[in-house]
């Protein structure tokens, strides 16, 4: 058997259920690996090893008593730094919330715990998810386990890094504009953004409310199915959550449905991505064809506007959601005193925000404030909403002739930290292929599909709303026929447990 730390979430849960491993041993193995790799990879913003040990021992006791435990029991998991937890800090990658203790657990956290999952820490993310590299994080950047001088992608890059480096059995992130799928591709793992409304957002510190969804970081599509099944389903506390049961995809079938049609807008992709990325997408198409799928050409001319359109909407929502972080109501409070005669409250808010927020999130808040102002609402915000509708309609048309749509996950291979951080246009282009699914609210699965220069490349499949079952089935079938997802970053797999 592999080392406990090397197990996938499915394997860990199965081994625990059989009694082959104890939860305590699983936590100890993962904790030892975190200890060993954290300084090199900076995957975690905070760990809770002692809490995890206590919880593991409780699970072990309950299993010995023969209690029925949840489907995640035995799996050691990581969550993004923007999931509210009643214990510990919920910092969202920001200095602003470095001291913020939420008074409650997010719905997803409660469901992970109820399913027997052991949460061992919170992973590094770009500040309030504003970024694609983890470089805007107050405690970042996280590093790419395939080459620590490279970015793991973002925003939820720490989670992808942790799963790829076997610093947990699986993880959860939130995806606003590709924040799960982009780092999943960069780190060579499988990441799923569920349909908007599939997973409760209650307790996910909101940034782009109409766009973001919580989803799994996983070693493969099977793990993604397991991790999703634990958190999906209606939640009366989230008015945007769909009144549907979770998808029935716990163990996806290994074959593709007969006559599956996959649309691939190759010409549009070619314009927006590196040749190596396009080649891996072509290879993925060939693999799906070999599995019996029909690859259909597709024109999606609006695709290239998705990232810019999303940026306007996300900025507006972020500006509104983050308004409460002013040092008076919530968030970091300045120690500076107002100059005599000035407006003390105005000074308090301005100074607290100046100190608490990083440069990128400040830009987004300013952009959001601008596009919602009466002078710009029509020409910017309302226009972005119209473009969003057109992009959604374009995808709906694609799904009239195809069952799934295939796109690269990122336009480029992972790049060096620092390489693009000063180039906002290049950073925006990172989201060119991922933004569409968020705008349309449809599910999308990103999975490994090749390498360029020793660094992973990913492709993604998009499905119509609530088509997670089909997505995971297609991903699983692909992974039965390929071995990209089985490769581990150099120097992290196969370590003996302490």
Partner 1 sequence: MTLPPAPKARLIVGLEIHVQLRTATKLFCGCAVRFGAPPNSLTCPVCLGHPGALPVLNREALRCAAKTAMALGCRILPRTSWDRKSYWYPDLPKNYQISQNEFPVGLEGAVELPRADGSVKTVRIRRVHLEEDAGKSLHDAPDATLVDLNRAGTALLEIVTAPDIASPEEAGDLAREIRRIVRYLGVADADMQKGHMRLEPNVNCAVELDGAEARTPIVEIKNLNSFRALEAAVAFEFERQTAAYLADPAYTLERRGKESRGWDEAALATFVQRRKEEAHEYRCFPDPDLAPYEWIAGELDELARETPELPQARRRRLARELGIGQGDALLIAEDRATGDLFEAAVAAGAWRESSASARATRCSSPRIGRRAISSRRRWPRAPARKPWPSTSSTSGRAWRRTRARPLPA
Give contact residues for partner 1 (rule: CB under 8 A).
82-84, 90, 92, 97, 100, 102-104, 106, 201-206, 209-210, 236-240, 316-317, 319-321, 323-326, 328-330, 344-345, 348-349, 369, 372-374, 377, 381
In the complex, minimum distance from the CB of residue 309 to partner 1, in angstroms, rounded to a whole number: 15
Pick between residue 236 and residue 418 the one whose CB is nearest to partner 1.
236
Residue number with CB closer to partner 1 (38 or 210)? 210
Nearest distance, CB of residue 231 and partner 1, angstroms: 15
As a residue count, the chain comes to 498
Are β-strands 76-80 and 170-175 bridged in parallel, bridged antiparallel, or unpaired? parallel
Shortest spacing between CB 346 and partner 1, in angstroms: 9
Contacts of 409 (CB under 8 A, 6+ apart): 178, 181, 182, 184, 185, 433, 434, 446, 457, 458, 459, 460
Shorter beta-carbon distance to partner 1: residue 270 or 336: 336
Cβ-based nearer residue to partner 1, 221 or 365 = 365
**Closer of 22 and 80 to partner 1 (Cβ):** 80
In degrees, to the nearest 5, what angle opens at C-alpha 308 toward C-alphas 175 and 142? 40
CB of 85 to partner 1, least distance (A): 10
Choice between 168 and 205, CB closer to partner 1: 205
Q: Decide whether 7 or 319 has the Cβ nearer to partner 1.
A: 319
> Under a CB-based contact definition with an 8 Å cutoff, are residues 43 and 142 in contact?
yes
Q: State the nearest-atom distance from the C-beta of 477 to partner 1, in Å.
A: 35
Distance CA 261, CA 399 (A): 10
> What tokens appear for 369 in the block?
């404030």
CA distance 184 to 156: 9
C-beta of 112 vs 205, nearer to partner 1: 205
- Distance (Å) of CA 349 to CA 65, 287, 315: 54, 55, 20
Question: Distance between CA atoms of 287 and 267, rounded to whole angstroms?
Answer: 19
Residues contacting residue 52 through CB under 8 Å, at least 6 positions apart = 27, 31, 76, 118, 119, 120
Backbone angles phi, psi at 149, to 5 degrees: -85, -5
Least gap, CB of 371 to partner 1 (angstroms): 9
Identify whether the C-beta of residue 222 lies closer than 8 Å to the C-beta of residue 251.
yes
The minimum distance between CB 125 and partner 1, in angstroms, equals 14
* Structural contact between residues 465 and 195, judged by C-beta atoms closer than 8 angstroms: yes
Give the up-direction half-sphere exposure of residue 147: CA atoms within 13 A in the CB hemisphere.
15
Min dist. Cβ of residue 482 to partner 1 (A): 38
Q: How far is the CB of 377 from partner 1 (least distance, A)?
A: 8
Structure tokens at 264: 């691939």
Minimum distance from residue 427 beta carbon to partner 1 (Å)? 24
Least distance between partner 1 and beta carbon 9 (Å): 25
Residue nearer to partner 1 on the CB measure, 19 or 236: 236
Considering the complex, what minimum distance in angstroms separates the CB of residue 255 from partner 1? 38
Preceding amide of 231 cis, omega within 30: no
Question: CB-wise, 35 or 343, nearer to partner 1?
Answer: 343
Which CB, 51 or 238, lies closer to partner 1?
A: 238
Instruction: Report the residue number, 377 or 466, with the smaller CB distance to partner 1.
Output: 377
Of 160 and 318, which CB lies nearer to partner 1 in the complex structure? Answer: 318
**Are the C-beta atoms of residues 45 and 35 closer than 8 Å to each other?**
no
Least CB distance to partner 1 at residue 261 (A): 32
């Amino acid at each position: 058997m592999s080392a406990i730390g090397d197990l996938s979430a499915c394997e860990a849960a199965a081994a625990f259920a059989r009694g082959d491993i104890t939860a305590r041993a699983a936590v100890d193995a993962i904790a030892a690996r975190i200890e060993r790799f954290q300084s090199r990879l900076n995957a975690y913003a905070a760990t809770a090893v002692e809490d995890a040990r206590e919880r593991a021992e409780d699970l072990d006791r309950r299993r010995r008593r023969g209690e029925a435990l949840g489907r995640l029991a035995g799996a050691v998991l990581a969550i993004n730094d923007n999931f509210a937890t009643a214990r510990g800090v919920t910092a969202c990658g920001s200095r602003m919330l470095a001291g913020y203790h939420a008074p409650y657990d997010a719905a997803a956290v409660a469901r992970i715990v109820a399913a027997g999952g052991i949460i061992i820490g919170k992973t590094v993310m770009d500040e309030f998810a504003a970024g694609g590299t983890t470089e805007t994080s107050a405690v970042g950047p996280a590093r790419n386990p395939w080459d620590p001088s490279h970015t793991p992608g973002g925003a939820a890059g720490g989670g992808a890094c942790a799963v790829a480096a076997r610093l947990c059995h699986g993880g959860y992130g939130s995806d606003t504009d590709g924040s799960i799928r982009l780092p999943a591709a960069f780190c060579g793992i499988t990441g799923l953004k569920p349909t908007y409304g599939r997973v409760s957002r209650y307790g996910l510190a909101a940034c782009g409310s109409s766009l973001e969804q919580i989803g799994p970081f996983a070693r493969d599509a099977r793990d993604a199915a397991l991790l999703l099944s634990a958190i999906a389903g209606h939640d009366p506390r989230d008015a945007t959550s769909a009144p549907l049961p979770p998808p029935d995809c716990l163990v996806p079938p290994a074959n593709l449905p007969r006559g599956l049609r996959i649309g691939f807008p190759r010409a549009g992709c070619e314009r927006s991505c590196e040749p190596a990325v396009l080649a891996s997408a072509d290879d993925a198409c060939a693999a799906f064809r070999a599995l019996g799928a029909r690859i259909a050409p597709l024109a999606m001319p609006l695709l290239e506007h998705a990232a810019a359109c999303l940026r306007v909407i996300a900025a507006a929502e972020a500006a509104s959601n983050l308004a409460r972080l002013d040092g008076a109501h919530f968030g970091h409070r300045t120690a500076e005193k107002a100059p005599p005669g000035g407006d003390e409250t105005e000074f308090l808010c301005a100074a607290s925000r100046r100190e608490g927020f990083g440069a990128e999130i400040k830009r987004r808040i300013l952009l959001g404030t601008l596009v919602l102002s009466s002078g710009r609402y029509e020409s910017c915000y309302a226009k972005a909403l119209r473009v969003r509708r057109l992009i959604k309609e374009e995808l709906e048309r694609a799904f009239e002739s195809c069952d799934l749509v295939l796109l690269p996950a990122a336009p480029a291979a992972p790049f060096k930290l620092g390489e693009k951080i000063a180039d906002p246009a290049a950073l925006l282009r990172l989201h060119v292929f991922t933004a569409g699914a968020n705008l349309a609210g449809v599910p999308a699965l990103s999975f490994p599909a090749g390498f360029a220069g020793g660094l992973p490349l990913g492709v993604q499949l998009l499905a119509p709303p609530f088509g997670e079952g089909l997505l995971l089935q297609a991903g699983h079938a692909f992974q039965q026929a390929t071995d990209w997802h089985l490769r581990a970053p150099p120097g992290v797999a196969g370590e003996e447990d302490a």
